[in-house]
Amino acid sequence: MRLTAPNVVFAGWMTMLATACAVSTDSHDPSDAPENAPPAPQALLAHEPYPDPSLPVATRVSQILAKMTLDEKLGQMTQPERASVSNADVTNFYIGSVLSGGGSAPSPNNATSWANMYDAYQNAATNTRLGIPLLYGIDAVHGHNNVFGATIFPHNIGLGATRNANLAQQIGRAVAEEVSGTGIDWDFAPCLCVARNDRWGRTYESFGEKPELPSQMAAFITGLQGSSLSASGSVLATAKHYVGDGGTTNGTDQGNTQLNEADLRAIHLPPFREAIARGVGSVMISYSSWNGAKMHGQQYLITNVLKNELGFSGFVVSDYNGIDQIDGQAGFTAAEVRQAINAGIDMVMVPTAWREFISTLRSEVQAGRVPMSRIDDANRRILTKKFELGIFEKPLTDRSYTGTVGNAAHRSIARQAVRESMVLLKNAGNVLPLAKANNKIFVAGKSADNIGNQSGGWTISWQGSSGNITTGTTILQGIRNGAGAGTTVTYNQSGSGIDSSYKVAIAVVGETPYAEGAGDRPNDMGLDSADLNTINTLRNSGVPVVVVLVSGRPLDIASQVPNWNGLVAAWLPGTEGAGVADVLYGDYAPTGKLPMTWMQSASQQPINDGDGKPSLFPFGFGLTYGAPPSRNPYDTIQAESFDGQSGIQTETTTDTGGGQNIGYINPGDSVYYANVDFGATSAVSVTTRLASGAGSGTLQYRLDSATGPVIASTAVSGTGGWQSWTSATANLTASATGRHTVYITFTGPGGDFVNINWFRFAR
């Protein structure tokens, strides 16, 4: 939502004249000017009246589109980077959008400077014949992370560990408010990639390795866009990077995703389907290739699948210089421009060579190699979102939101997200939670008192950096602030000074900041020597050691974990390090679950749930404090209430009682239910509520692992349909007493063969 410039609907020029001093008059080569372009204005002139705002958006778009020249249309499809485009350029070339790349910020870098910059660009955009406002785009991927003092939320890998879609939506709303407070109306987020190889430097931008998690956390889009795009504080969202960026061979950034179409659709497409169902306004294309062909030139996937099959009605934007890569050579050619636009890209992110792009595209259109219908379709999509956002009526920053940047309410949400993202992986001897009172705690590690390290890449700068780069609370500060009466907290980064008088040592170690490209780890994936030396120094004191890993992915630590008393995955928590302390002290019990399978060795990459590779910690693993609650096997256990699974999916059931069942079950799949307490007397039978539409097989009840002892088997044959339910009872063939994890494994000749709604033991 933007503030209305006085009389802007009827082209009030006095407000724009008042800001003329802010509009750059940078010169450019007149040979680059659009054909039939008006001269640079000597005084700011009124633009033509906008279409009646009471009309439907589609009608308004058609009315303004009918008036547009080719050059005005080409300008709408062009997105330069702020450092390469002046306010005068925006006016003279009818630029439709401007972006800030990672780290590209006005000076001083604060919310007010951003708002002033945005308004100057917007005044320049509306100082044209038709007065079409621009969209300003930015990578606010874990908060408004280019802006000093903004709230920095956990990166997506941490949010995936929360499994909390409502929280993701709240974060989306908080980000939208902070972004709106700087004028910006378009966020290049969320990343809906399905990261399948942890070597990839963008793994932390993924909510999880299975499509269900990014699909679930796409609720972030609803938070950004609000109840409607025209609502106060709403920002256009972007589903990225379409499609398959997380599936490249060897996890190479911008690499080649080698999959058949069925697997591409099954693994990488579902989050985009969910984004479209949520009304996402834009989709950004991936740098990566699919079976050797760059996505930026893929007409089949962009037009046929995304726009036609999935019904995406927003606009498609390229990635930064993305069209340059189609032929594998530096820079773009006319052939690349033609292929990208004809493939279905509507707006091109062309940060510096934008004049050349406009000239090239104009020539391609005039030669008939890019049809005018394609140009009109792109403009119709872009203009639709501009009208829906309400920026024609309210183009300037809504400064009522400027004060929300980094405010206490948003930091509180971020702190909640941090504590819900913590995954407790080991807790030998119940070393956690820490006693708050009368304790003696030693803290060490390079990431304990480092806001840059705990925030990771895409923070203030593109790659991020270590150190005191923005405002917030470090993990060490959180630990100190949370200490109670009689507790001392001592810190030394290397561990120097620890002795046996301490009751516990906390090592906060892991990765230093990186973003794509620089973040790929094709070789070693372990801790560096400084981290290992720090941990060894702590261990040599004889004090119990808890390791807090600050990292953008699982690390290769299997050989060290046996020597640690506790292990917590903190991911990249952002600026609110007190959320880590909340969990360490037990103010909140850990609830996070792994969004990625944790490797035993880097040589296993890629490793993912269901691939049969043994893990150090499986997908979905996560401990909590105290004795876990038990399940009563003699009550009905709903099948969808599993604690972990491999290969199965959930779906809505029409069986009595409704709810969900598990299905799409093939031989080799499994599902398990933890802490099932049979008591002192063994169960004698188990009843399974099942349905089968095809095939046959056997389901086996086992104890404590997928290869544990079989205690019962139930044969499955067709029941007449996938929702034609029957109850099958099998006698136990082995005793079951005490507390166990109950696994159900599936065998058979092949293919999907059974759905399960619930099961219940009897004695």
Could you tell me which of 350, 282, 268 has the C-alpha nearest to residue 315? 282
State yes or no: cis peptide before 243, omega within 30 of 0: yes
DSSP 707-726: TS-EEEEEEE---SEEEEEE
The secondary structure element, H or E, covering residue 420 is helix 408-421
Query: Token pair for residue 343?
Result: 């493939």
CA angle 352/358/364 to nearest 5° reads 135
- Catalytic residue of the set 185, 205, 319, 531: 319
With H, G, I as helix, E, B as strand and everything else as coil, classify residue 394. coil
Q: CA torsion sign, 239 to 245 to 247 to 252?
A: negative
Question: Other C-beta atoms within 10 Å of 4: how many?
Answer: 15
Q: Are 541 and 561 in contact (CB under 8 A)?
A: no
Query: Token pair for residue 155?
Result: 């990166």
Give per-residue burial for 382-403: e unless 16+ CB within 10 Å, then b: bbbbbbbbbbbbbbbbbbebbe
Sheet with 97-100, strands from edge to edge, namely 97-100, 135-138, 186-187
| 148/114 Cα distance (integer angstroms) | 11
Beta bridge partners of 646: 670
Query: Token pair for residue 227?
Result: 């109840």
- In the 8-state DSSP scheme, what is residue 301? I
| Rg, the chain, Cα only | 28
Question: Other C-beta atoms within 10 Å of 627: how many?
Answer: 8
Q: Are 502 and 441 in contact (CB under 8 A)?
A: yes
Q: Which residues contact 291 (CB under 8 A, 6 or more apart)?
A: 256, 257, 258, 259
Backbone angles phi, psi at 341, to 5 degrees: -65, -45
499 is a catalytic site residue: no
Q: Are 2 and 394 in contact (CB under 8 A)?
A: yes
Q: Are 411 and 250 in contact (CB under 8 A)?
A: no
| 483/480 Cα distance (integer angstroms) | 5
Helix residue ranges per DSSP H, 516-599: 529-540, 578-584
319 is a catalytic site residue: yes
Which residue spans within 131-235 are E strands per DSSP? Answer: 135-138, 186-187
- Burial class of residue 49, CB neighbours in 10 A (0-12, 13-18, 19+): exposed
Question: Other C-beta atoms within 10 Å of 33: how many?
Answer: 18
Pairing label, strands 238-242, 282-285 = parallel
Q: Are 185 and 391 in contact (CB under 8 A)?
A: yes
Q: How distant, in Å, are the alpha carbons of 75, 415, 591, 625 from that of 588?
A: 52, 12, 9, 9
Q: Are 202 and 155 in contact (CB under 8 A)?
A: no
Question: Other C-beta atoms within 10 Å of 494: how many?
Answer: 14
Torsion of CA 473, 476, 477, 482, to 10 degrees: 120
CA angle 129/132/134 to nearest 5° reads 135
| 593/420 Cα distance (integer angstroms) | 9
Q: How distant, in Å, are the alpha carbons of 156, 301, 456, 495, 529 from that of 470?
A: 20, 40, 12, 26, 27
- In the 8-state DSSP scheme, what is residue 268? T
- Catalytic residue of the set 178, 336, 398, 516: 516
Backbone angles phi, psi at 744, to 5 degrees: -115, 120
Residues that are catalytic: 319, 516
